[in-house]
Structure 1
């Protein structure tokens, strides 16, 4: 579900199988699903900076390969050919909505006994992922690119509180390095 929030719902709906590279272990964000006007996958993103490459974790690769296999079997059995080649489609062959994603996430959290008051919403997953990566020392430039932010200033504003903590840590490292020089 972290991938759900690296991407916005339009990018999730716009993900096609030709944008999942199992060999290179990458997902390419190049399309969106236009929920407003055309109700189709279109070859553009919300902003130019939203075009990006996301690493494909081995666990997700296994899940996506299984999904692709099951879709192919279902399509063959039902004589259906998806003209959009979409990764995510409902059993009614429709692109998932934000509401559908939210409901599914809530059901999963219910199943693993997370109390409703402690449950995280889909957008919260995006912040959780970014916060986690920054806390683990991933460079802000990379996190910014992963999230599709136009520049690092946007990411810095959103995660300023974490960066202040890192600055304190960096200050200690700086003092230690300078003390070593003076010996």
Structure 2
């Protein structure tokens, strides 16, 4: 088949059509907004790029142009959004070859960011500093996230009914849209995010008394008719980190800390992925690659030690 039979539509026009066909009403608004942001970037960076002009070279140029003002991880996300649409276009016969094959991901110099996670010693230091009284407060929220690895919106959505004291686990089946003025329940990030998370008996006993008089189907950390901001918790956490002279992390950094410490303790990648609500272990492996590689080096030492004893 000659190249003239392939689609000559402008790439950004194909992409917006793809979003409307496959993503609208199929993904959460926050995810859909990311696809539309990608669409606007394509239109800005490559307004004259046609589908039949999409080659490895032209696609790489698009990525490179994007990478001049974005960090490597953001460029990788941009690439994943584009690749999903282009794989469909290839399946539909609109492209001759996959232009995303062997793409090189670049990025500008990262800005100074908060640390992704704390060490065990630093986390223990933080938790000992928390003001854990007889009433729920943001310090209790920090402890809960540190011990469960829940996402911010997942932890906000927890109601008394989500605490299964008999089985010693927390049920995660929704999240809280805190970006709305009044807030409301919404679906979790993906189907895999619906899960149960085992928790130690001490934390469960603490929460049993803290939430016993709370409304059964209302979030325990969200007051009625009052908006909640993640900046409030992050600001408090930053203040604590500064006071304790430990690396400053965000509330999401506590989730990373939770996962990292589990991996260091020898918990399998599959178990950590399930606990975090990742759609697959690939996400976990990519996020915690440096830790996994470090653990593999330790495993290699163990293997060599074992083999030396067989001689």
| 2:185 alignment partner in structure 1 | 41
Q: So what's the TM-score if we normalise by structure 2?
A: 0.48
C-alpha deviation, 1:30, in angstroms: 0.3
Given candidates 223, 230, 235, the residue that maps to 1:103 is 235
Number of corresponding residues: 167
Structure 1 gap segments, 5+ residues each: 76-81
Deviations 1:47-82 (CA, angstroms, capped at 9, x unpaired): 11111111122232122112113xx2xx7xxxxxx4
Deviations 1:74-106 (A, max 9, x none): x7xxxxxx473322234x664643122223334
Deviates most, 52-61 or 19-28: 52-61
Of residues 220, 238, 245, the one that matches 1:87 is 220
- Report the Cα offset of residue 31 of structure 1: 1.0
What per-residue deviation string (whole Å, max 9, x for no partner) do you get for residues 105-148 of structure 1?
A: 345446xx313x73322122112111111111111111111111
The match for 1:61 among 200, 204, 223 is 204
Match of 1:79 in 2: none
Instruction: Tell me the TM-score normalised to structure 1 length.
Output: 0.77
Please list, as runs of the form range in 1=range in 2, the aligned pairs for 1:1-183 lying within 5 A after superposition.
1=142, 3-4=144-145, 6-36=149-179, 39-42=183-186, 44-69=187-212, 72=213, 82=215, 84-90=217-223, 94=226, 96-109=228-241, 113-115=243-245, 118-181=247-310, 183=311
Higher Cα Rg, which structure:
2
CA RMSD of aligned residues (A): 2.5
Counterparts of 2:198 and 2:240, CA distance in 1:
24
2:172–2:194 CA contact under 8 A, matched in 1? yes
CA distance in 1, matches of 2:236, 2:209: 19
Q: CA distance change for structure 1 residues 95 and 28 in 2, over 3 Å: closer, same or farther?
A: farther
Q: Per chain length, whose mean CA-contact separation is higher, i.e. which structure has more relative contact order (CA < 8 Å, sep 6+)?
A: 1
